[in-house]
Amino acid sequence: MDPTVQLELSVDRGSPVPLYFQLAQQLESAIEHGTLTPGTLLGNEIELAARLGLSRPTVRQAIQSLVDKGLLVRRRGVGTQVVHSKVKRPLELSSLYDDLESAGQRPTTSVLVNTMVAASAEVAAALGVAEGGEVHRVERLRSAHGEPIAYLCNYLPAGLLDLDTGQLEATGLYRLMRAAGITLHSARQTIGARAATAVEAERLREQAGDPLLTMQRVTFDDTGRAVEYGTHTYRPSRYSFEFQLLVRN
Amino acid sequence: MDPTVQLELSVDRGSPVPLYFQLAQQLESAIEHGTLTPGTLLGNEIELAARLGLSRPTVRQAIQSLVDKGLLVRRRGVGTQVVHSKVKRPLELSSLYDDLESAGQRPTTSVLVNTMVAASAEVAAALGVAEGGEVHRVERLRSAHGEPIAYLCNYLPAGLLDLDTGQLEATGLYRLMRAAGITLHSARQTIGARAATAVEAERLREQAGDPLLTMQRVTFDDTGRAVEYGTHTYRPSRYSFEFQLLVRN
DNA sequence: CAGTGGTCTAGACCACACT
DNA sequence: GTGTGGTCTAGACCACTGG
């Protein structure tokens, strides 16, 4: 029957948090905690607005934000209901460091190289800087439980950020960039595979010719500047890319 | 200086296409065609609304949809401007068939297996059906220019769809599902790598032990049912996953 | 300070799904 | 037909940015 459910909802008009956001948070946590079970109908927007003392557009804005997150589905003539399947990670710009940490793996990082170099043609093209101009070059080996997981080589435009080796070993590159006031906007990624060279194999304690998972990425900030270019190699036995994505209908 | 630009815009109130959508389309194509160059300020929403004879919320809805697509950036107190970097594919639920076709590769598909089988524990768990219950099993080899690119093995719940071998060879699985009225909603994907077994190597004209790119995926429709489970292997020399993604800020 | 986007209201009419 | 979400209007006040 998919019954519609009465839910305790309230908003605080004195709070600086937007009303639609307060409502969205309450609905989201109700879904998270199982108070709103999958398939439940949310009840019509008009009545919900009246119950909360809000206008309909405000209620719609709250609901829409959860639809965008994939937690709710709207059907005209039917109603709004909670999605059955559990959506966990709608695919963020994944940070290996954060991935490992949230998996309880306590990652460790050793910085192998942290210098300025002249940009090669490949790096210059990716970052949109002049070929031969100076860029940061950082090479890191990331491990967990004493086993190497990935070899990360990154290039950053000069003058964007202080790259302190100690900080690089204590956290991820993305956190440093955000902390420096850089607003990440989008990234272009390529994921592939290839056989390990002898040098790569030694770094990751594999054999030459063994399969490696590879990823190249260029990250842009909200002004459109390229702020990072990275070429990474992963041990496929220790890491794979896992994510949930939503279909644009 | 980032000048704001006068643009020819108009809406047709007789059209069944929503006004905000008409406006969004015109702005998007202006960005696409370079009429609106990166960094251009769009001009304030009030004036834009007045010029088009629309209300401000309608104009905002149009602009917001392009912000969500990553084409525009809004800054309070500043304005709305066109993003510098080119956002091409905001990462859809990628269909290998469509990917290859849009790359001008004219993919061909040969269906190797198309039968009903009893669900293994793995398949049953992925699709949420009873272990041992009947499910479709489809195995396909996809090629371009006479070279194999990927080996695709998919499982689908019984009774969801007619799986005609001829149609499977003429188009992609996702198109068939959409055509059958299934609304795709989300998918959970895992991308990894491993060495090819002898059997896999022969299918893809590689050598045993060569690296393969692998992908497993479970796709859900908007009611939360799992509608497809696939395990795919790709020749890394012929295919890699490439996509652009947006940061949720 | 002036200008921008961010939020919010209280209505209205329409298109579609179900019975 | 009835009820739902989809779209739209014409205002309003606030918060933040910049000069």
Confidence of residue B9 (pLDDT cuts 50, 70, 90): confident
> In the predicted model, is pLDDT for residue A76 greater than 90?
no
Ramachandran region of residue A53, left (φ > 0), alpha (ψ -120 to 50) or beta?
A: left
Q: What is the pLDDT of residue A141?
A: 95
Test B245 with A57 for CB contact under 8 angstroms.
no
Chain B residues with CB inside 8 Å of A226's CB? 85
> In the predicted model, is pLDDT for residue A66 greater than 50?
yes
What CA–CA distance (Å, rounded) separates A137 from A145? 26
| CA-to-CA dists, residue B10 to B17, B23, B25, B145, angstroms | 13, 8, 11, 45
Q: What is the pLDDT of residue A9?
A: 78
Percent of chain A with pLDDT over 70: 91
- Helix locations, B70-186, DSSP H: 96-102, 121-127, 165-170, 173-179
Span A105-111, average pLDDT: 87
Q: What is the pLDDT of residue A4?
A: 57
Task: Give tens-digit pLDDT for B196-246.
Answer: 999 999 999 999 999 999 999 999 988 888 999 999 999 999 999 988 888
Span B136-155, average pLDDT: 94
Q: Which residue has the higher pLDDT, A106 or B134?
A: B134
Question: Three-state DSSP class for B99?
Answer: helix
Span A98-104, average pLDDT: 72
Task: Give tens-digit pLDDT for B39-94.
Answer: 888 888 998 898 899 999 999 999 999 998 889 999 888 889 998 877 666 566 66
Dihedrals φ, ψ of B91, to 5°? 65, 95
Q: What is the pLDDT of residue B40?
A: 86
**Within a 10 A sphere around the Cβ of A115, how many other Cβ atoms?**
11
Q: In what order do the strands lie in the sheet with A184-195?
A: A108-118, A134-144, A147-157, A226-234, A211-221, A184-195, B241-246
Which of A10-24, B40-54, B97-111 has the lowest average pLDDT?
Answer: B97-111
Mean pLDDT for chain A overall: 88
Test B189 with A225 for CB contact under 8 angstroms.
no
Per DSSP, A224 falls in state S
Q: What is the pLDDT of residue B1?
A: 45
- Helix locations, B33-95, DSSP H: 45-52, 56-69
Span A26-48, average pLDDT: 88
Note whether B66 and B192 are within 8 A (CB): no
Q: What is the pLDDT of residue B60?
A: 94
* The pair of three-digit structure tokens given for residue B226, joined into one six-digit string: 């799992």
> In the predicted model, is pLDDT for residue B12 greater than 90?
no
Task: Give tens-digit pLDDT for A127-178.
Answer: 999 999 999 999 999 998 889 999 999 999 998 888 899 999 988 898 888 8
Q: What is the pLDDT of residue B6?
A: 60
Contact pairs from chain A to chain B, CB under 8 Å: 145
Q: Which H or E run includes A175?
A: helix A173-179
What CA–CA distance (Å, rounded) separates B35 from A61? 32
Q: How far off is chain B from A167, nearest CA to CA, in Å? A: 23
Q: What is the pLDDT of residue B232?
A: 96
Percent of chain A with pLDDT over 90: 53
Chain B residues with CB inside 8 Å of A240's CB? 190-193
B2 contact A CB<8A: no
- pTM attached to this predicted model: 0.89
